[in-house]
Amino acid sequence: MESESGSSVRLKVFNLNCWAIPYISKHRQVRVQHLGDLLNQKNFDLALLQEVWSERDFESLRQKLLPNYTWAHYFRSGFIGSGLCVFSKHPIQEVFQHTYSLNGYPYKIHHGDWFCGKAAGMLVLEICGILVNVYVTHLHAEYNREHDYYLAHRVAQAWELAQFIHHTSRRADMVLLCGDLNSHPGDIGYRLIKEWIGLEDSYLETQDFQGCEDGSTMVPNNCFVNPREMEHFPRGVRIDYILFKAISGFRITCETLTTTTGNISDDATGRSIPLSDHEALMATLAIRPAPIEQNRDSTRDAETQASLMGVLHEAWTEMGLGLAGARQWVYSTGHLFSLGLLLLFLGVGSMLFEEIPWVAEALFMILGAIVLLGSGGLYLTSLHESKALYEAQAEIELAMEMAKEVQPEAVELSSTSSLLRTSIQSESK
């Protein structure tokens, strides 16, 4: 593995959403142990994991993997944790974490994303003289594709992730992004990340693929997957990714990509069970020296620029819809807050009149306090959401303006492609 002599460097990467929620996930501890066995057996260079919600599970894996993976890091965030961790055979030079500004709602307790503190973790490695920026993330879950209340949040997270990678990878020779994006390949979140940074998808670029049909990472025949969620996707969905990009002086190809196909490990009863409700991704990337001119960032051609403009405009529109809804909540909860104040004043004022029963006074006070606290919390949550979406929308608007100045001829093409995409989406609905 020497790049100086002109030979290629092969990087073996493993990615998995582990579905390791304490007290909830089935066979969690058994699956974590079998995961450790698999990682030791396959001897990857990097293992990037999501939904490892227990630090005890992380430490258990760390001890099990120490003979082969001497470097590890667990990204801590939110009340519960980000669930992100990484194991590496190569020394980790730097680590950094970016917590997303938007991550669901605190009153959606049954979903729990807000309490997790979803984030993007970054680590810097030097492998045979090649500086590699590695990113691992887990975006907000979809829950209901037909009525996706979190779409604006997930698009905002995708934009923050793309900007985070864009601004932190300028010294790197290579960028590697792994994780559960909770976005199908055609969704705006995936396209925004891929096109803004210029990443390559290992599934689309691989020379040798083995695994689930269409590269799916959630499949109906997995016993941990809810069949109702797969009713419209009989072949499964692809929402987990290994994405990469060579920045300068190198060329990257994906030689092999493999997914698990359901049952791998055996529990105490001898019954085969999957590692998770997601399928794992295992890729072999070949990094070769290349002329600097071949990878140097240059002005995009008109068609590529038009595609990017269409993606940016679509993301801007989705955030605008989310912003309108957030502002409506700010307006409504503001009025409820005023009603709570009025009830409190009525309760205090009724104390001045002896003929009013104390039960009525107490009722006014209790109702006023409940409305005041509830509406106040919703008001602050909606205000934060509206400000975050407004900021993300303003950033995208500036990016579109700068793109227009670079290549004005791409604007007409992007308008045409946006109209075509809109018509296709409306017909599919």
Give the three-state DSSP class for 13: strand
Of 110, 278, 313, 384, catalytic: 278
Question: Residue 205: which H helix or E strand, with range?
Answer: helix 202-205
Cβ-Cβ contacts under 8 Å for 19 (sequence gap 6 or more): 25, 51, 224, 276, 277, 278
Please give the biggest Cα pair distance in the chain.
96
Cα–Cα dist 241/204, whole Å: 11
CA angle 261, 267, 271 (to 5 degrees): 65
Using CA atoms of 189, 190, 195, 198 in order, give the dihedral in degrees to the nearest 10: 130
Cα–Cα dist 177/199, whole Å: 9
Which runs of consecutive H residues, i.e. helices, occur in 270-357?
292-295, 302-350
Cα–Cα dist 5/17, whole Å: 37
Cα–Cα dist 99/185, whole Å: 24
Q: For residue 399, count other CB atoms closer than 10 A to its CB.
A: 19
Selection from 101, 207, 211, 81 nearest residue 158 by Cα? 101
Q: Is 105 in contact with 114 (CB distance < 8 Å)?
A: yes
278 as an active site residue: the answer is: yes
Q: Which residues are catalytic?
A: 278
